[in-house]
Amino acid sequence: MVNVDEFIDEATAEIKNQIGDNEAIIALSGGVDSSVAATLAYEAVGEQLTPVYVDTGLMRKGETEQIKETFAFMESLRVVDASDRFFDALSGVIDPEEKRAVIGEGFIREFEREAKETGANYLVQGTIYPDRIESEGGIKSHHNVGGLPDIVDFDGIVEPVRDLYKDEVREVARALGLEEIISERMPFPGPGLAVRVLGEVTPEKVEVAREACHVVEDELEEHDPWQAFAAVIGKGTGVKGDNRVHGWIVSVRSVESRDGMTARAQELPWDVLQRIQSRITGTNQNVARVVYDVTHKPPATIEYE
């Protein structure tokens, strides 16, 4: 395990050395990885850093408002609504790796646009060790590693937590005094809800996934999963009132893990699963059925794409 105090001292010194007297922006998402990277960079270079949160339209319910509240102490925080641009870029894209590539490029172009306005030369991001391993090993491309475009208009990319596992990042977050809503937050994929929607990404499917994920996180909080969410995996027949419908199939996934490299499907009480399906189907008339995923990692990955 990492020596937290030594790591914080070494990381801030490395960030200061890499950025020097230049301006930088931090890709802030609200997850623990980017939040720790942002806090370390802010301690290292202060007002030279501009935090940028890009609202892709693929974020968790209430994410943008939470970001504004949590990081209000960073006066230079910029919130960019790029949802229309991301949905346009994803139109017609079905292949999971292509989705990740489109989103990775979209993020970089948004950050380049912001960098030109602020005069930033460096990009700080919260890449962690499992991101690198999975991208380099071909398991999946992470938007901030294998999903990056070949040409990036920055003098350098700074990744202060690149050698840490998720549980180590959480330890650093606690040591930095970050709020529990950040330090203990469940992992959320960089490409957002785009990888929790199988097939083409549309605003309708994303909204179904967003609301269903909110229900799952709310219902399973007391069961302490490492990660829990819902995904829209296709369409199937159902019955609403006296009518036969062809609606969305939502899959619920909850896993236990230490670092995300392997995971076991969580055994949940039947009444909890029934309550989840009742809330999801009851609040969205376009959902025909809810299923529970019992597959471990391996053979499955945690996310669906």
Q: Is 32 annotated as a binding residue?
A: yes
Q: Is 239 annotated as a binding residue?
A: no
Q: Is 31 annotated as a binding residue?
A: yes
Q: Is 34 annotated as a binding residue?
A: yes
- The 3-state secondary structure of the chain reads CCCHHHHHHHHHHHHHHHHCCCCEEEECCCCHHHHHHHHHHHHHHHHHEEEEEEECCCCCCCHHHHHHHHCCCCCCCEEEECHHHHHHHHCCCCCHHHHHHHHHHHHHHHHHHHHHHHCCCEEECCCCHHHHHHHHCCCCCCCCCCCCCCCCCCCEEECCCCCCCHHHHHHHHHHCCCCHHHHCCCCCCCCHHHHHECCCCCHHHHHHHHHHHHHHHHHHHHHCCCEEEEEEEEEEEEEECCEEEEEEEEEEEEEECCCCCCEEECCCCHHHHHHHHHHHHHHCCCEEEEEECCCCECCCCCCCC
Q: Is 30 annotated as a binding residue?
A: yes
Q: Is 183 annotated as a binding residue?
A: no
Q: Which residues are annotated as a binding site for ATP?
A: 29-35
Q: Which residues are annotated as a binding site?
A: 29-35
